[in-house]
A and B are shown apart, each in its own frame.
Chain A
Amino acid sequence: MMLTFILRRVAQGLLTLAIAGTAVFLLIRVIPGDPAQMLVGDVGDPAMVAATRASLGLDRPLPEQWLLFASDLANGDLGTSIMTGQQVREVIMQAFPVTASVVLLATAIAALIGIPAGMWAAWRQGRAADYLLVGITSVLLSVPTFWSGLIVLVIFSVKLGWLPALGYVPLGEDLRAGLIALIMPVGVLVLAELATLARMMRSSTLEVLRLDYITSAQARGVAPWAVLLRHVFRNAFAPTMTTLGLMLGHLLGGVVVIEKIFGLPGIGRLLVDSIVQRDYPIVQGCLLFVAFIFVIVNLIVDLLYAALDPRVRV
């Protein structure tokens, strides 16, 4: 039964990718702007623009362009950047680790703090700890990252001089310098994610705490920590895990504001810059990659969900 479930989910994922690929291909061509003109610049030479357009294959009929795109994609070729001539796959593989290192670190920290905090606040509902958590998370949810990012930069870089304002260093290149460079972007993202996760976990825990089997466990004299960990967590975590999966998929697609503020060459910045320059292959590659990440993360979440709650597999 589990195998059928996995195969069905994988087939759905592939269909999603095919639809996303076609949509991306068409949508980028719908918006005004000509990559050949952007590449040549304000020279005004129509022959040069036409030659550039032909060399990029943009003078062919749209169905032919789509067939070429699809056949290249089937061979694992995402094409080359119009602006830089780099392989799209190579460009994405340079940008994605930047975003991934920020997002995965931030999500892990946010989950480690937010999930227990949400459970604890629900357990202490109506008391000081609960009010404190609700208050803090309300503030965090109201603060946009572009503002908190700049404030953190002003405090820790300009005023205190503790941390560098910019400069991404890959963790594999220099772990220490890489971690220092990540402190502020990760910190800002943790604040944003933590509030969502804590709130989600609090509300789902409250729902579970109202169920009869919890009352029964408490009546049997089971220790509070044991009630929370053994009886509440498994049921209350499922909705939070879905949120976590969606959040992870969304963030891995690029944290544009944070990448811009902290000068991180991540996939969000790459995507926005490529849209501005009408670099079709990069835009297509990035969006397909983001869709792929979404599909994978959601597949994992679905499988974990099914493992946690066997009813889902039916």
Chain B
Amino acid sequence: MFMWGCLCFAGPGGAAANAEPILRVALASDLRSTNPGINRDSVTDWVMTHVVEGLVATNAELAPAPMLAESWSVSDDGREYTFRLRPDVKFQNGATLRAAHVVWSWRRMLDPQTRWPCRSWYDGNGDSGVRIDAIQAVDEHTVRFRLREPDPLFLYRLADVQCHVAIIHPESLDANGNWRWPIGTGPYRLKEWRRGRYVELERFDGYSLAAQPASGFAGRKEAFVRNVRLVVIPDASSAKLAVLSGEIDIWPLTAAEALPELRRDSHVDLLQEASRDWSVLLMQNRSGVMSNPALRAAIASALDPELISQSTMHASRPLRPYGVPAEEIAPDILARIPPAYQPQRTQELLRQAGYKGELIEIDVSRETGSYFNDAIVVHALLVRAGINARVRSMDWATQFKRYLGHEYQLSLFGYTGRATGPMMYSVFVCDPVKRVNCVVHTPRALAIMGELNTSSPQRWPVLMGELEMEIAHDRSIIGLYAPLRITTVRRSVVGYETWALGMPRFWGVRVDAPGQTTAVAKRLARVSAASGQGTWP
């Protein structure tokens, strides 16, 4: 009665059929902030790529491509990068982009007061030792960066999504230098953020289109849909029902358990791709029983990655034994890397290790992906091999603390994919004196990593092969699989595409207006027609 009472009282109409279509997207979690790069997570990153842009951006081939800079040149000594800005690029407040804005944005990010987590990439304190000595506006449309040492990865770093330097207008900050609201140059402006409810993007009509075709995060980012509403739906079952009822058009990172029902629905398509993310089993190598390399090799030999990758019944994940896809590594070296899984050797290795049934715990969090399922399979395989293992389930904050403090023995973990091999490996191959999240830190691995950071891309396949060889000897990280990124898209959406980095993009996307009229809207429209009352909000 209460329900019918409200329905009749509501008397909504069918405005959805007449109004300009709106693209509705499910967000598994809310934004961390609107301050790009500073207070961020992966959801915040990809939402903000619609609002702000950098000098360069990662294209579909995962290479740096022009964005706000139309071209660049590198000095012969590799220490000076000069960027020529595209003319007539406007900020969302109507101001024209000038070189001074680029200098201001960069200086703000490099200021220690800003607390940019990636500042060590450019201040000489990072692994690569890269340091920006000067950023200078040569003229209104030219910016020059002077580095202390040449850095072959400089353009790749500039294009990186996680450590992005967005070129924003100074009005993004208040008079006291506090963050207000992003005023960028992207194809959408941030119209509204209702915390815990939704984020609304509105097409920026003054957007200056790049000449190159759209590719990855770069190129011609033509926004067709006027409004994109990103609705926060933390519960996967609710997100599935919202897609099925037609209230959500796109569900990025679709939960695997929703797939059987979604596959049966004729109104949706499922787009699937293997991401560059990497799911691994970390093995502690610094203290306790796990510091024994023979025991690590024994554990690795007992784990069948094929079985682990199938722990989620509804989607089989492609195997990924290495930090980057195998095709990026020199094949001759790859052929020499011994496989981790060798069940026939497990008992011999356990004897070599002098294993006497010590308890080995597997850290896992239920909050991240399907790692709990993986942990169950890992546990079963270890127990079958005669290893006294136990799954230790915990929340993500606890697992993260144990990971950074090297308090774990085994830990099911995932690394977010980076565009290049050197950037991917530098996340876990590093000097433990400088960083606390290093997993592989043998002298040889560090030497190869140093070379990788300073070599040209042509050398990367060989160096990454040598690094994988060293990782295989160390056995402190076991590559399992590349997590699938599944996106559910209603058939009323045209032009949505996935790509290698897996992050959603809404430029180039259209919504077929009749398809926008959901079952709910249709039903309410009928109620409205009967009662002659207002419109469905």
**Residues in A lying within 8 Å of B, measured CB to CB:** 31-34, 37-49, 51-52, 55, 83-86, 91, 94-95, 109, 150, 153-154, 156-158, 160-169, 174, 176-177, 179-180, 182-184, 186-187, 190, 260-263, 265, 269-270, 273, 275-278
List, in ascending order, chain A residues with CB within 8 A of B233's CB: 166, 263
The reply on B3 being an interface residue by CB < 8 A is yes
Nearest first, the 6 A-B pairs at minimum CB distance are A265-B196, A161-B519, A44-B437, A33-B397, A44-B435, A177-B537
Instruction: Indicate which residue in B179, B195, B241, B395 contacts A265 across the interface (CB closer than 8 Å).
Output: B195
Whether A176 touches B9, Cβ cut-off 8 Å, given contacts A48-B120, A265-B197, is yes
Cα A165 to Cα B437 in complex, Å, equals 41
Are the C-beta atoms of A42 and B120 separated by less than 8 Å? no
Cα A46 to Cα B238 in complex, Å, equals 39
| 1/0 contact string of B405-429 vs chain A (CB within 8 Å) | 0000000000000000000000100
List, in ascending order, chain A residues with CB within 8 A of B115's CB: 48, 51-52, 55
Whether A176 touches B10, Cβ cut-off 8 Å, given contacts A48-B115, A153-B241, A164-B520, is yes
Whether A37 touches B39, Cβ cut-off 8 Å, given contacts A157-B241, A163-B520, is no
Are the C-beta atoms of A33 and B401 separated by less than 8 Å? yes
List, in ascending order, chain A residues with CB within 8 A of B396's CB: 276
Are the C-beta atoms of A44 and B438 separated by less than 8 Å? yes
Are the C-beta atoms of B395 and A33 separated by less than 8 Å? yes
Are the C-beta atoms of A269 and B520 separated by less than 8 Å? no
Cα A158 to Cα B112 in complex, Å, equals 51
Which of B242-250, B380-388, B502-510 lines the interface with chain A? B242-250
Nearest-neighbour CB distance to chain A for B402, whole angstroms, equals: 7
Cα A261 to Cα B237 in complex, Å, equals 8
Nearest-neighbour CB distance to chain B for A298, whole angstroms, equals: 28
List, in ascending order, chain A residues with CB within 8 A of B333's CB: none
Instruction: Indicate which residue in A37, A165, A187 contacts B241 across the interface (CB closer than 8 Å).
Output: A165
Cα A91 to Cα B523 in complex, Å, equals 36
List, in ascending order, chain B residues with CB within 8 A of A39's CB: 39
**Residues in B lying within 8 Å of A, measured CB to CB:** 2-3, 6-7, 9-12, 29, 32-33, 39-41, 112, 115, 117-120, 125, 179, 194-197, 231-235, 237-238, 241-242, 244-245, 247-248, 367, 394-398, 400-402, 404, 427, 430, 435-438, 518-520, 522-524, 534, 537
Are the C-beta atoms of A260 and B234 separated by less than 8 Å? yes
Whether A180 touches B7, Cβ cut-off 8 Å, given contacts A38-B397, A157-B245, A174-B537, is yes
Are the C-beta atoms of B117 and A95 separated by less than 8 Å? no
Nearest residue (CB) in B for A165 is B242
Cα A91 to Cα B30 in complex, Å, equals 14
Cα A176 to Cα B524 in complex, Å, equals 13
Instruction: Indicate which residue in A37, A161, A164, A187 contacts B3 across the interface (CB closer than 8 Å).
Output: A187
Are the C-beta atoms of B39 and A43 separated by less than 8 Å? no
A-B contact count (CB 8 A): 180
List, in ascending order, chain B residues with CB within 8 A of A184's CB: 3
Are the C-beta atoms of B367 and A158 separated by less than 8 Å? no
Nearest residue (CB) in B for A55 is B115
Nearest residue (CB) in B for A48 is B117
Nearest-neighbour CB distance to chain A for B413, whole angstroms, equals: 10
Nearest residue (CB) in A for B163 is A43
Instruction: Indicate which residue in B32, B125, B231 contacts A263 across the interface (CB closer than 8 Å).
Output: B231
List, in ascending order, chain A residues with CB within 8 A of B524's CB: 162
Determine which residue in A33, A154, A273 has the highest number of CB atoms from chain B within 10 A of its CB, and name it: A33
Are the C-beta atoms of B2 and A109 separated by less than 8 Å? yes
Nearest-neighbour CB distance to chain B for A192, whole angstroms, equals: 15
Cα A21 to Cα B177 in complex, Å, equals 34
List, in ascending order, chain B residues with CB within 8 A of A187's CB: 2-3
Cα A281 to Cα B216 in complex, Å, equals 39
List, in ascending order, chain A residues with CB within 8 A of B2's CB: 109, 183, 186-187, 190
Can you name 12 extra interface pairs (CB under 8 A) apart from A187-B3, A263-B231?
Answer: A31-B398, A32-B394, A32-B398, A43-B435, A84-B32, A84-B33, A161-B518, A162-B7, A166-B233, A179-B10, A184-B3, A276-B397
Cα A154 to Cα B3 in complex, Å, equals 15
In the complex, 11 of the A-B residue pairs with CB atoms within 8 angstroms, ordered by the A residue number, are A43-B120, A43-B437, A44-B430, A45-B125, A51-B112, A150-B238, A154-B241, A162-B523, A163-B520, A166-B233, A261-B235
List, in ascending order, chain B residues with CB within 8 A of A163's CB: 3, 7, 520
Nearest-neighbour CB distance to chain A for B365, whole angstroms, equals: 10
Cα A165 to Cα B10 in complex, Å, equals 16
List, in ascending order, chain B residues with CB within 8 A of A45's CB: 117, 120, 125, 435
Cα A32 to Cα B40 in complex, Å, equals 22
List, in ascending order, chain B residues with CB within 8 A of A277's CB: 397
Nearest-neighbour CB distance to chain B for A294, whole angstroms, equals: 23
Nearest residue (CB) in A for B395 is A276
Whether A34 touches B401, Cβ cut-off 8 Å, given contacts A83-B32, A164-B520, A180-B10, is yes
List, in ascending order, chain B residues with CB within 8 A of A150's CB: 237-238, 241
